[in-house]
Structure 1
Amino acid sequence: MEVVILAGGLPSSISEQPDGIPKPMAEIGGRPLLWHIMKSFSQYGLTDFIICAGYRSYVIKQYFLNYYVYKSDITVDLAKNKVTVHNKVTEPWAVTILDTGVNSSTAERVKQAAPYLEGDDFIVCYGDCLSDININSLIDSHSKDGHIMTAAVAKPTGRNTIMNIVQPGDIKGSCIPSSDIHNAWVNACTMVVNKRIFAQLEDMRGTFETDVLNRLAQIHEVSAFYHDGFWCPVETVRDRNHMQQLWESGHAPWKIWND
């Protein structure tokens, strides 16, 4: 099953780099957010990634093209124009990077990933969200429900659109932020999707997380997977600093792998 990562948004405002980089390339613990997300998925055996890039897509391409260099010790023989890579450290990942345009909507970015999908189901997630969602349980829930989409929902962090959910899990759409935080659920930006989605995307130019979800809700083709654990969209400097502190403490909730 492929994992489609939406990574094409505007330049990051949470990185120390003054020239601007894609937000998913902002670093936590010396590694891009993208790396953390992919590392988590790979613990569930999901190693085929399609990154829908946009703003400064070459930054993402360069990172993966030079992954050996970034992760390993190297010797550069300038006289012979030769590079030797020592103690090679890599990941069992197949990474496809698509330049989906700077101004494309998230729905349009997902559409561009269609030719690279092999199975009937795939995962869509956002390149600026960290979580400890149990992906196996999410996939199982999707298989049982049989809907086009199963969206993980989590407790709001305070800046999120509330989901209109009818128990036990049918999503009826999204609505404006609510003051009833204790009973509210928000889209955790990790979804298992069936290829039938592309029939709904033919004339769609809006956001995948709201416009597409609302359309699927109208035809009763989206269900909720409740996640009570950790989830955080890394949207501000404060968010990033908090994630950095968690990482340095050795208790980052999204770190489900062993070093």
Structure 2
Amino acid sequence: MPPLFSAPAVILAGGYGTRLDSSRDQPKPLTEIGGEPLLWHVIRLLGSQGMAEFYIALGFGSAAIKRFFLENDSFRHDGPADLEADEITVFSTTPFESTIHLVETGMETNTGGRIKRLAPFLRDKKQFLMTYADSLANIELPNLHAFHEAHGKLATVTAVRPPERFGRLVIEGDTVVRFNEKKPADNEWINGGFFMLHPDVLEYIDGDSTAWEQEPVVRLTEEGQLKCYHHHGFWACLDTQKEKNQFEALWKSGSCPWKLW
């Protein structure tokens, strides 16, 4: 499939993922769903809709992530398989043509700092998509892209409804008299990732310690440069073993919502 638009994708894949038990031994992006790493699912989701260039921002467990791409027959690379290299580029022709840049962005670097470290690759782009390596959705990227193009601001965040993680207890004394699964309020939305960004947002990031979700997003909001794309479909983030099991069950169900390919 030819690219639907020329924007590259930045995937943040350097965090520790301390709430997921398996992440103690491996980086969370390599947590397997249906026998394939979570990162593979994110790339497949984006690539199946025409995205062809990816920058994976590495940190914790970077060698293991590099090893996955270098040892997987679905990808080829030029040059020696040097796990210590700051950047490795791999290529795929199946099921779609893509170029994947594996870039070291520091063990302790925060989310904004990881994006900033990719500035040399992004400054000359018209725009780029940024998302996380632990979230999946049945988002339609052409619609997100069209929305971003139409409003002309520097940034678009995809807003999603929060998952029903916690139950609400109705208590009398020390007795639970009713247990209700928590339903999000009608006006309750959260950051679902899948940002469309103009390269000028790089100037809003001070350095490695900057969390993208804090100072940069606050400044963009105050300056009227952040628009919101509402996604009403499926979205989920994998943080815990319970959520891993839920992802696995969806994949095996035969009607996996993020499997758009």
Is TM > 0.5 for Structure 1 vs Structure 2?
A: yes
| 1:220 match: secondary structure | coil
CA-to-aligned-CA distance 1:31-52 (integer Å, 9 cap, x gap): 0111101001111210200000
Distance 2:16 2:50 in 1: 30
User: Which sections of structure 2, spanning at least 5 residues, go unmatched?
Assistant: 1-6, 77-92, 167-182
Number of residue pairs the alignment of both structures matches:
223
Within the alignment, does 1:100 sit opposite 2:105 as a pair?
yes
Change (3 A) 1:67 1:90: farther
**Which residue in 2 is equivalent to 1:246?**
250
Within the alignment, does 1:195 sit opposite 2:196 as a pair?
no
Tell me the TM-score normalised to structure 1 length. Answer: 0.79
User: Which sections of structure 1, spanning at least 5 residues, go unmatched?
Assistant: 72-87, 161-178
State the Cα distance separating 1:157 from its structure 2 match.
1.6
Tell me the TM-score normalised to structure 2 length. Answer: 0.79
State the Cα distance separating 1:203 from its structure 2 match.
5.5
Distance 2:224 2:153 in 1: 8
**Which residue in 2 is equivalent to 1:168?**
none
Distance 1:90 1:181 in 2: 40
| 1:182 match: secondary structure | coil
Change (3 A) 1:69 1:151: closer
State the Cα distance separating 1:158 from its structure 2 match.
5.0
| 2:243 match: secondary structure | helix
Identity in percent: 30
| 1:209 match: secondary structure | coil
Change (3 A) 1:91 1:68: farther
CA-to-aligned-CA distance 1:108-158 (integer Å, 9 cap, x gap): 000011112242200000000010111110011110111110011010125
Distance 1:22 1:221 in 2: 33
Within the alignment, does 1:20 sit opposite 2:25 as a pair?
yes
CA-to-aligned-CA distance 1:190-219 (integer Å, 9 cap, x gap): 100001111212457322123321111011
State the Cα distance separating 1:93 from its structure 2 match.
1.8
State the Cα distance separating 1:181 from its structure 2 match.
2.4
Change (3 A) 1:204 1:25: closer
Change (3 A) 1:12 1:69: farther
Alignment of 1:1-259 (within 5 A): 1-11=7-17, 13-14=19-20, 16=22, 20-68=25-73, 91-117=96-122, 118-158=124-164, 181-202=185-206, 205-257=209-261
Letter in 2 for 1:40: L
Distance 1:139 1:70 in 2: 27
State the Cα distance separating 1:14 from its structure 2 match.
3.4
Change (3 A) 1:208 1:52: same
Distance 1:134 1:5 in 2: 17
| 1:115 match: secondary structure | helix
Change (3 A) 1:28 1:15: farther
**Any runs of at least 4 consecutive aligned residues in structure 1 with deviations exceeding 4 A, and if so which?**
88-91
